[in-house]
Each structure stands twice: as C-alpha cells, then as structure tokens.
Amino acid sequence: MRFKGGYNVLLHGRPDPTVKVMPEQKTLYLPLRSRRFRFSDLRVEEGQHVGAGDALARDLENHGVPLLAPRAGNVRLDAVQDHIVLEDIAKEQEHADVDEQEIQHISRKFGSAGIKRYKLLMLGAWQFLYDAHTGTLPDPLGTPQALIVSTISLEPFTARGDAQLHTRLLNFTRGLEHLQSLLEYQPIYLVIPNIKSEFADLIRNHIRGYAWVKMVEIPLTYPYDDFAILARALELPRNKGPVWAMRTEGVLAIDRALTLSKPCLVRLISVGGTGVISPAHIKVMTGYPLKAIIDKYVFEHTPRVIDGGILTGEALGAQALGVGAECRGITVLSEPKGREFLGFVRPGSDRGSYSACFLSALLKKFNERLTTAMRGEGRPCISCNFCEEVCPAGLMPHLLHKYMHRDLLEEANRAGVDLCVSCGLCSYVCPSKIDLHAQHMEAQRLIEEEKKEIAESQSHSEAAKEVAA
Ligand code: SF4
Ligand code: SF4
C-alpha cells in the first residue's frame, strides 16, 4: 500500500519537555472505563481499606487487566457513577499484587518468559502494549511477528517521548532488554525522529550490540507515528501474525515492573492546548482529580477538556472526575458559546485552513490559536477531495461518507473502512465540517458487531447439530 497525506500542524500551546510533579490529593476518582478497558469485575468492597498497588477491579474481557490503587486509601463504590473513589489517601509503600501460587503454576507451564508476562499484566505494565493492526490489548500468551517501539508522538498536545525519556535512557534500554527476553527471535523496531541526531547517537551507544533492535526513521508529519501505519510501512502484514507496539512510556513501565517488581502507578501526561497557561508535562496517578489540573493550568472560562489530542481525543464531560487509566494527555481549547456573525464566510488571518481559502494562506506558518468554533454549521460534501488527499491509509473518506449516509455498510466494508487508522485528518481538513472520522468509527463498530453475531449464530447452529447427532 502506498502512503500519502500527512499534515504539518503548527499550533500554539504545545507542551514543552518540562516535567512537573503535581501535589498529592486527599481523594482520587478512578474511572472504571478507558478507551480499551471496562473494569467491571470489582475486587473491593464499600469502605474497604486498600494498599497502594492492590487491584481494585479487572477487565475480564481483556485478559483480566487490573485497575490498581495508586495510593493507600478507603474505597467508596457508590459515591460517583462509573468511578471508584479512594478517600483518606495515604502515601504508603506500594506492593505487587501477585498470586505466588499462580506464579508457581505459570512457571511449570510457561517457564520464565511466562512469569514475566504474568507479572507485567498484574503490575499494570501490560496495558501499555497494543496490537498494531487492531489497537487492542495483545494476548499475554501470544507470539508477535515483531515489536514496534515508538519514541515519537506527532499528534499535537499529547505526551512526547523525549520528555518521558529525560534522564531515564538507562531504564529505557533495560526495558528493551526485558522486552527482548519476552520474544523468541522476533525483531524490535525502534522508531525515532532522526537517526542522525544526537539523541539517536545516545540511544545507539546504549544499545550497541543489540542486533535485535533495528532503528527506523519516519517522516515527521502526523500521523506517521500511528502503529497501524508503522506496521504497514515496515511491511509487517496482518496475515503474518500480530505485531505488538508500545510507546516510550510503556518501555519504562516494563523496566519498572521487571527490574524492581513494582506496580506502575504513576503516569507522565501532557497538559496542552490553547486554553492552558504554561503547557507542560505532569506526573500524576490514575484518578488524579481533573479539577486540580484545570484549576492550576487552565485560564479559559468556557474550556473544552479533551482526553488526548485534538485529532483523536475525546471530549470529557462533567461526569469525568479523574485522570483515566490510559490517559496520555489533557488538551484544553476555548469553546466559544456565542454564534459568530457570518463566521463561515469571514476571512481571517488567525486561522489556518487546508483549503487556503482564508487570509492566513498568504502568511508564513504561524502558531494557530485553535478554538472549537465551527465557523458555521456542517454542510453537504462538495467533492473537494481534500479528505482523500490527506488520508494516510489511501481511503476515500468522501465515498465512505456517502455509503454511511445511505446505510450501505456492506459497501463501506468493501471500500476498506476497516483500514481507517482513526487519525482524524479527514475531519480536520473537511471544509464542510463533516465528522468523517466519527462515521468511520461507527462503521467499524457496526461491522464488528455484525461479525460477532454471525460467529455466535454459527457456533449455536454447530452446537445444535452436535446435540442432534
Ligand atoms: S480518520 Fe481514517 S479515513 Fe480519515 S484520514 Fe484518517 S485514516 Fe483516512
Ligand atoms: S473534504 Fe469534506 S467536502 Fe471535501 S470531499 Fe471530503 S467529505 Fe467532501
């Protein structure tokens, strides 16, 4: 497949690499849902006292991945919908919530690599891994054809790999060694911004002699850091087995879990966007109150707070109270409520546009101050073809839009909607404000549902045949 597209976005409000530690809080609000996980199997009771590192809940549909208590405290289950609240927080020594009997059983059955995988799962490090093609959590018992490690984050406002590495290059290379010990002979592709840079030399010096690590450079345009695109660019096709992928933060978590046998309770996330006073990176734990972050960093009166970046993130509603288990960054944009008079025709020097229809097209690149204003309502597709030009997966988003508009799911499937990597570029450039990205996500969801239904009805009919026989 040929890759095209990519868009250099230069935005005001990008977080710098400074890392700040947020003050401890008395109460934490741990969301029971994140993008991939639903922590529905509760392991604690109302009022129970838990220690730092205890499993509060698990996601049984995702290999039992745990939601760990980041601090010691008392559990409240019904205080806030869809959250576990931890009150009377105390900073105690964290411990590893692993079952010794289970370890012995795994050791007999799967050896030392099996124990390592079990520990990673229990200590909250496995959740940093992705199946590059599907975006899901890989099976801890599975074998990948390769592993991709990306130190790059190209979506505006999300946590940067260089900020996470900071002074922890040794931990990073040790994490790579641990990862290699989980594999057999499969290669690790290390994706870095510029293989001739000082940063690359530093890494090269640390990993000298690691023949299994291959350094790869990619174009620095969004979304070439996307795992599915990287897998396709590295010619690691889906039909040759899963490709595992993770970011810098994941490698550091692996090192912590396997070198120190400690749970991964703290995350380094970004706080950025045009509504933020001094965009930076912060160290927080899951459940850290969003209000405390907003009070400290946000100056907008009517902000839209997004979990993630502007292109792939999700707006957080008033019901979201704490940092989620998979949060990589908080983005804040101003959300003008009033309608702008003739906003959709008024040219401006303060807004970049792919269509070059604004006055800003005459200016050099500038730090655009984004807001959530739509400058007029959505309009019908005008067949400008911009969405097709930028799509890195080579799709025709306008065509998929037409199929979805007429409920032609089968046609959308044939046109390759499953290859959409959710980068959001098509929605970003569309002059008609059509949320193509959301439509593709909906199509993928419906197709998956249909596939599941077909598989279930097939297994029912096979079971019925066996009974009849
Ligand atoms: S969201 Fe999907 S269809 Fe749209 S540009 Fe990205 S890959 Fe292409
Ligand atoms: S960018 Fe929008 S208006 Fe242009 S072809 Fe695509 S869907 Fe249609």
Distance of alpha carbon 5 from alpha carbon 22, whole angstroms = 38
Could you list the beta-strand ranges (E) of 310-426.
314-315, 329-334
Residue 358 has pLDDT above 70, yes or no: no
pLDDT of residue 1: 43
Query: What pLDDT digit, counting tens, does each position of 329-339 carry?
Result: 999 998 887 77
Pairing of strands 303-307, 314-315: antiparallel
pLDDT of residue 155: 85
Q: Whose CA is nearest to atom 2 of ligand 1?
A: 420
The single-letter DSSP state of residue 283 is E
Q: What is the pLDDT confidence band of residue 98, given thresholds at 50, 70 and 90?
A: confident
| Percent of the chain predicted with pLDDT > 90 | 54
Phi-psi region of 221 (alpha: psi -120 to 50; beta: other; left: phi over 0): beta
Q: What is the pLDDT confidence band of residue 9, given thresholds at 50, 70 and 90?
A: low
Q: Whose CA is nearest to atom 8 of ligand 1?
A: 391
Ligand 2 pocket (Cβ < 6 Å) reads 381-387, 397-398, 401, 429-432, 434, 436
- Flag the least confident range among 234-248, 376-390, 402-416: 376-390
Pocket perturbation via mutation, ligand 2, pick of 389, 420, 434 by most ligand atoms within 8 A of CB: 434
Q: Whose CA is nearest to atom 3 of ligand 2?
A: 381
Could you list the beta-strand ranges (E) of 151-222.
188-192, 213-217
Q: Determine the average pLDDT of the residues in 313-338.
A: 90
Query: What pLDDT digit, counting tens, does each position of 74-96 carry?
Result: 999 988 999 999 999 987 788 88
pLDDT of residue 343: 66
First to last CA, the chain: 47
How many angstroms separate the alpha carbon of residue 183 from the centre of ligand 2? Answer: 44
Which residues are bridge partners to 284 per DSSP? 267
Q: What is the pLDDT confidence band of residue 4, given thresholds at 50, 70 and 90?
A: low
Pairing of strands 28-31, 83-90: antiparallel
pLDDT of residue 441: 93
Q: Is the separation of the CB atoms in 281 and 270 below 8 Å? A: yes
Count CB-CB contacts under 10 A for residue 364.
5
pTM of the predicted model as reported, rounded to 2 decimal places = 0.88
Residue 154 has pLDDT above 90, yes or no: no
Half-sphere exposure of 295 (CA within 13 A, CB side): 7
